Structure 1
Amino acid sequence: MPSLTEIPSLGFQITLVAVWLGLILVIAEGLNRVFSVNAEVSRKIVHIGTGNVILLAWWLNIPAWVGIAASVISGIIAIISYQTPILPSINSVGRNSLGTFFYAISIGVLIGWFWTIQQPQYAALGILIMAWGDGLAAVIGQQWGKHQYCFLGSSKSWEGSLTMLFVSFIISLTILLVIQGNDQPTWIISIVVALVATTLESFSKYGIDNLTVPFGSASLAFFLNQIL
């Protein structure tokens, strides 16, 4: 993280984040409208790209209120897009999922919680697990998922779930290694978080996993670290 003397102005911070999010949306919309790329693919581009904004927020030490405000605005846009075709790359009108709304809310909640206690790494851990773990699990599962199973009414593939497990473990381990070093609790926490995140992702009716996975992963990592 930059030192206090190196932190850019708030205006520059907000502009940088806005440019990043805008670029992700333009790419996804362009692929969807111009090249007729499958809507699910463009949604995952937005899903993964948007999640990475947490790294910018962490690195730039963006104030919590900025992240919360952006979360609220994104949530409102998501709700509107369920009824109006504002951004087809994010939501299809009438789509039976509130995943985009839950995703926006989870980012705001985690920033509001962990920014205020000076532990932003846990917010990053939860959001990146959702962004990369769930995003890649969906791609792998849809393209190469041959072995299906059903969990609480949600149909998943073992290929997708194993992808979620592996990616969640790598993200947890990487962040915790950077923050607290290579010790036994780091590995134990990473394994437990990966298992729980994968279980939560297995139940994704109405997109609820976009809320349970980041919040569950972040809070579990935080509390386990206090215990261990």
Structure 2
Amino acid sequence: MMIIMDRNFLGLVISVAYLAFVIGIGYLIYIRKLASSDVVRKVVHIGVSNWWFVLVTCFDTPLLPVIGTGFFIIMNGLATWHGWTQKFFGLKEEKKHHGLVYYPASLLGLVLLVYVADFPLHAATAGVLAMGYGDGIAGLIGHRFGRRKLPGSEKTWLGTGMMFLVSCVVVAGVLLAWNLSGRMFVPVILSTAFIAALLEAVSPYGLDNLSVPFGVAFWMMMPWW
């Protein structure tokens, strides 16, 4: 019991230190005017998704991860509603939707699925990383270089293409890490990346922070794989 508690406490310490580092980097980029607020948002977006590796490595029970993600749901909600994200990070568009709340909510949901419902860890991992890296890099490239927008959307064809490509890399990496590179290796990669890109493209108001991780996770855990 003592070993388990020590391991989880170490995970808590690493989690707090790492998330403080990511948020601090975002704040530093903003106050030093090293990049636009869009870049700040995506840097933090990508960085936070790496916390999932801490979860996988350090936590044996869901208690502390559930408390932590629940805390960030509340804090991100307050930051959005009171305009703190605009004041400290220049994120003006965040008050128009609740993407910052949906992000930790999706992490909380996947944590519960993995620890309580015995959901496949590789599927949840792919969902988190597709949201973090796929959506993050798609946003950076799409906003900077994208010209042609999707019909009825502010998102671009280039961003959607990047979402597909990055998701392919993410899914391939997860399958290889879990030694799941069988005959369905390529079909799983392509179909999951397509699902991720489609969900990101059609989800407005920050809802892609819910639709992408859960959509990818449930698609990858289907029994035919």
TM-score when scaled to structure 1? Answer: 0.89
User: Unpaired segments of 5 or more residues in structure 2?
Assistant: none
Q: Which amino acid aligns with 1:113?
A: L
Which residue is 2:178 aligned to? 179
Is the Cα contact below 8 Å between 1:82 and 1:93 reproduced in 2?
no
Is the Cα contact below 8 Å between 2:62 and 2:111 reproduced in 1?
yes
How far apart are the structure 1 equivalents of 2:6 and 2:184?
35
Which residue is 1:69 aligned to? 67
Is the Cα contact below 8 Å between 1:84 and 1:93 reproduced in 2?
no
1:27 and 2:25 correspond: yes
> Residues 116-127 of structure 1: matches in 2 within 5 Å?
116=116, 117=118, 119-127=120-128
Is the Cα contact below 8 Å between 1:7 and 1:60 reproduced in 2?
no
Is the Cα contact below 8 Å between 2:80 and 2:100 reproduced in 1?
no
User: Unpaired segments of 5 or more residues in structure 1?
Assistant: none
SS of the residue aligned with 1:63? coil
How far apart are the structure 1 equivalents of 2:191 and 2:112?
24
SS of the residue aligned with 1:213? helix
How far apart are the structure 2 equivalents of 1:7 and 1:177?
31
Is the Cα contact below 8 Å between 2:38 and 2:91 reproduced in 1?
no
Query: Measured at CA, do residues 28 and 94 of structure 1 come closer, stay the same or move farther in structure 2, by a change above 3 Å?
Result: closer
How far apart are the structure 2 equivalents of 1:149 and 1:70?
36
Which residue is 1:15 aligned to? 13
For this pair of structures, how many residues does the alignment match? 220
1:193 and 2:198 correspond: no
Q: Which amino acid aligns with 2:215?
A: G
Deviation at 1:73, TM superposition (A): 0.8
Is the Cα contact below 8 Å between 1:148 and 1:158 reproduced in 2?
yes
How far apart are the structure 2 equivalents of 1:170 and 1:89?
30
1:94-113 Cα shifts (integer Å, max 9, x gaps): 72121111111000001110
> Residues 74-85 of structure 1: matches in 2 within 5 Å?
74-85=72-83
Q: Which amino acid aligns with 2:73?
A: G
Sequence identity of aligned pairs in percent?
23
Query: Measured at CA, do residues 184 and 93 of structure 1 come closer, stay the same or move farther in structure 2, by a change above 3 Å?
Result: closer
Q: Which amino acid aligns with 2:100?
A: T
Segment of structure 1 superposing worse, 183-192 or 131-140? 183-192
Deviation at 1:181, TM superposition (A): 3.4
Q: Which amino acid aligns with 1:28?
A: G
SS of the residue aligned with 1:18? helix
Query: Measured at CA, do residues 62 and 90 of structure 1 come closer, stay the same or move farther in structure 2, by a change above 3 Å?
Result: farther
Deviation at 1:213, TM superposition (A): 0.4
Q: 1:43 aligns with which of 41, 44, 47?
A: 41
1:159 and 2:158 correspond: yes
Is the Cα contact below 8 Å between 1:177 and 1:186 reproduced in 2?
no
Deviation at 1:62, TM superposition (A): 4.4
Deviation at 1:189, TM superposition (A): 1.5
Which residue is 1:221 aligned to? 220
Deviation at 1:86, TM superposition (A): 3.4
1:105-128 Cα shifts (integer Å, max 9, x gaps): 000001110233163222211010
Query: Measured at CA, do residues 66 and 6 of structure 1 come closer, stay the same or move farther in structure 2, by a change above 3 Å?
Result: closer
Segment of structure 1 superposing worse, 112-121 or 169-178? 112-121
How far apart are the structure 1 equivalents of 2:34 and 2:171?
35
Q: Which amino acid aligns with 1:168?
A: S
Q: Which amino acid aligns with 1:47?
A: H
Deviation at 1:93, TM superposition (A): 7.9
Cα RMSD for the two superposed structures: 2.1
